[in-house]
Amino acid sequence: MHIEVRGISKNYNGHQAVSDVSFSIERGKLIGLLGPSGGGKSTLLRILAGLESPDAGEIYINGKLVNDVQPQQRGIGFVFQNYALFKHMNVFDNIAFGLTIRKKDKAEIKQRVDELLDLTGLRGFEKRYPHQLSGGQRQRVAFARALAPRPELLLLDEPFAAIDAKVRKELRTWLKQLISTIGITSIFVTHDQDEAVEVADEMLIVQQGRLEQQGTPVSIYTEPKTAFVAGFIGHSTVVEQPTSLRGFELTKLSVGTQAIIRPEFVEVGREQEIAFPSAAAKGTVRHIFFRGAHLELDIQVGDNRVAAHRSLDQEPLQPGEEVSVLIHRLYVVSEQSATMVENPLKVDPLPVHI
């Protein structure tokens, strides 16, 4: 299914939930709709499903304008955030709902539901009611129920939000595999970037109702197009005066321009550990946080504070210790753009030619 959205806007009592959003999605792709809470992601999803109607703009599914098509006829499966399972129906009847409503014959319904029970690993739970299931199981029932009428597009609103961290990871992997097996075009909403990066083929970053950037997780990570994306993706520190950082003194910037630095851009260590000591500045370790697989350092460099990572294998640093800080690169951001600038001093002082 090919989906095209042109200039969609939606206003709720003066609050612009979605403003002028356009994008297109190829058949079979798994799309992550990522952005901060209250940024209009769910509204966008509900507009696609036909549960809300846009104030302006057009939605095309397979080249056909569907603005005036009722949700019942759009051929879209929707998985709600809290699953919205039918409380008074057991698992079998929940999954079968979309088929019984279409008056399919009993044998056909049974066959399809059995197929989905196997697919979702819910075999043996047919007679259970939603309240007798765990969060993960309910999520699967919601998923199977949405898939039963063979929709062409599957929409998932924060599908893992209500599930505890451990099960969530398993479910993510499971969902990604399942969706690629079925080959159904899917869009899922999330505010968790790890989830989006891990699961999605392609991401749409939405903020304050606007589409900031569309692209693969890798391209969004390495080439953020806007200041918001540069700051939202990854663990970012905002630096107010980038020209005070060693190596970036000569970077041409307009007044008040900020820079964004990710921990992976920063190398911190005793002087002998740094590859390009000439490009490094002096800094002080303010705090050290244990993050399980690595240490996170909070470093004071001049008037700026930056975050950096350090491996547990390296010699431990102490809070208050003076260290060398090498900033490999940073993003210079203005209102609507983000540009990457490499540290110009990072030139090997003793080039060895073989």
Partner 1 sequence: MAGAITAHLSEKASKRPKHITESPIIRVVLIGIALLFLGLIVLLPLASIFVEAFKKGFEVYVASVTDPDAISALKLTLMTVLIAVPLNTVFGIAAAWAISKFQFRGKNVLITLIDLPFAVSPVISGLIFVLLFGAQGMFGPWLAEHDIKIIFALPGIVLATTFVTFPFIARELIPLMQAQGVQEEEAAASLGAKGWQIFWRVTLPNVKWGLLYGIILCNARAVGEFGAVSVVSGHIRGETNTLPLHIEILYNEYQFSASFAVASLLVLLALVTLIVKSLVEWKSAQQQAEE
Alpha carbons 311 and 323: distance in angstroms, whole number: 15
Side by side, the strands of the sheet bearing 322-327 are 266-269, 322-327, 281-290, 294-301, 304-311
Q: Which is nearer to partner 1, 57 or 98 (CB)?
A: 98
Residue 59 C-beta: closest distance to partner 1, Å: 15
Nearest approach in angstroms of CB 45 to partner 1 is 11
Determine phi and psi for 57, rounding to 5 degrees: 105, 170
Q: How near is the Cβ of 101 to partner 1 at its closest, in Å?
A: 5
User: Smallest distance, Å, CB 180 to partner 1?
Assistant: 23
- Measured from the CB atom, is 185 or 214 closer to partner 1? 185
Residue with smaller CB distance to partner 1, 82 or 173: 82
DSSP element (H, E) containing 179: helix 165-182
3-state class (DSSP) for residue 139 = helix
Rounded least distance, CB 115 to partner 1, Å: 17
Residues 260, 231 contacting (CB under 8 angstroms): yes
Task: Report in angstroms how near the CB of residue 70 gets to partner 1 at its nearest.
Answer: 8
- Cβ neighbors of 150 (< 8 A, separation 6 or more) are none
- 329-334/337-342 β-pairing: antiparallel
Residue with tokens 């990572």: 309
Nearer residue to partner 1 within complex by CB, 115 or 223:
115
Residue ranges in contact with partner 1 by CB under 8 A: 49-51, 71-73, 76-78, 80, 82, 84-88, 97-98, 101-102, 129, 131-132, 145-146, 148-149
Nearer to partner 1 (CB atom), residue 61 or residue 76: 76
Contact 213, 183 (CB under 8 A): no
Element (H, E) at 141: helix 135-147
Q: Which residues on adjacent β-strands are paired with residue 30? A: 186
In the complex with partner 1, the residue whose CB is nearer, 145 or 168, is: 145
